[in-house]
Amino acid sequence: MVTERSGAERRRDADGDGCVFCRIAAGTAPATTVYEDDTLCAFLDIRPIARGHTLVIPKRHAGTLDDLDTALGTRLFSLGHRLAKALRRSALGADGANLLLNDGRSAFQTVHHVHLHVVPRHNGDIRTFTTGFLFRGRVGRRPDPAATAAAIRAGLDRLDAEAPTTPSDTEDKEPHA
Ligand SMILES: [Zn+2]
């Protein structure tokens, strides 16, 4: 079922007017960036469930999955996948990760610009995770965002170092008939 949306809401969906994540993508709102390329941006959640909680967004505004190009959605998840692996290889020492995308207000999407949460997890962290989930960065020690982002970037570098192959390398390794 398609719900009625006001003209203002449709315009906002199309161009992202007043959208805080569009401003972050454009560099006009502050954020601690972990990764950036032509189409995607990853930055630390300002209300982290756990240290290293990162959001991955498309730079071009898309309010919900309904508005998101499917190829871009694939890239979005692919970066979330890489970040989950990087967190394991980072000084944050994650044992796992929760990847979560809340699509639509009914699903508790609070910022109307598609974003994928990547939340590092540690074995036996249920208590600190639950506290983090309930209070979202309002209790406990506030981790240093710059050091946290640097640790994740170092994890990405380690991940890249593990797989230095390029498409041409792969071709070379394929058996020739
Ligand atoms: Zn936006």
**pLDDT value for 2:** 45
What global pTM score does this model have?
0.84
The alpha carbon of 108 and the centre of ligand 1 are apart by a number of angstroms equal to: 17
pLDDT digits (tens, 9 = 90+) for 28-69: 999 999 999 999 999 999 999 999 999 999 999 999 999 999
**pLDDT value for 45:** 95
Q: Is the pLDDT of residue 9 over 80?
A: no
Please state, as a whole number, how many other Cβ atoms lie within 10 Å of the Cβ of residue 59: 18
Q: Is the pLDDT of residue 99 over 90?
A: yes
User: How far does Cα 40 stand from its chain's mean position?
Assistant: 9
Residue 20 in contact with residue 30, Cβ under 8 Å? no
pLDDT digits (tens, 9 = 90+) for 72-90: 999 999 999 999 999 999 9
Q: Is the pLDDT of residue 152 over 60?
A: yes
**pLDDT value for 131:** 87
Instruction: Name the residue with tokens 């454009």.
Output: 26
DSSP letters of 102-124?
A: --SGGGT--SSS--EEEEEE-TT
Helices (H), 90-175: 126-135, 145-162, 167-173
Report the distance separating Cα 13 and Cα 7, nearest Å: 10
* DSSP secondary structure letter of residue 44: E
Report the distance separating Cα 33 and Cα 31, nearest Å: 6
The alpha carbon of 44 and the centre of ligand 1 are apart by a number of angstroms equal to: 16
The alpha carbon of 24 and the centre of ligand 1 are apart by a number of angstroms equal to: 9
**Is 115 among the catalytic positions?**
yes
Region for 153 from its dihedrals, namely left if φ exceeds 0, alpha if ψ lies in -120 to 50, beta otherwise: alpha
Mean pLDDT score, 91-116: 97
Q: Which of 53, 112, 113, 115 is catalytic?
A: 115
**109 phi/psi in degrees, rounded to 5:** -75, 120
pLDDT digits (tens, 9 = 90+) for 110-144: 999 999 999 999 999 999 888 888 888 776 666 79
At 1, the pLDDT band (50, 70, 90 cuts) reads: very low
**pLDDT value for 163:** 73
Tokens representing residue 99 in the block: 């990847």
In total, the chain counts a number of residues equal to 177
For the chain, the distance separating the N- and C-terminal CA atoms, rounded to the nearest angstrom, is 53
- Domain residue extents for the chain: 7-172
**pLDDT value for 135:** 84
- Domain 7-172: state its class: alpha beta
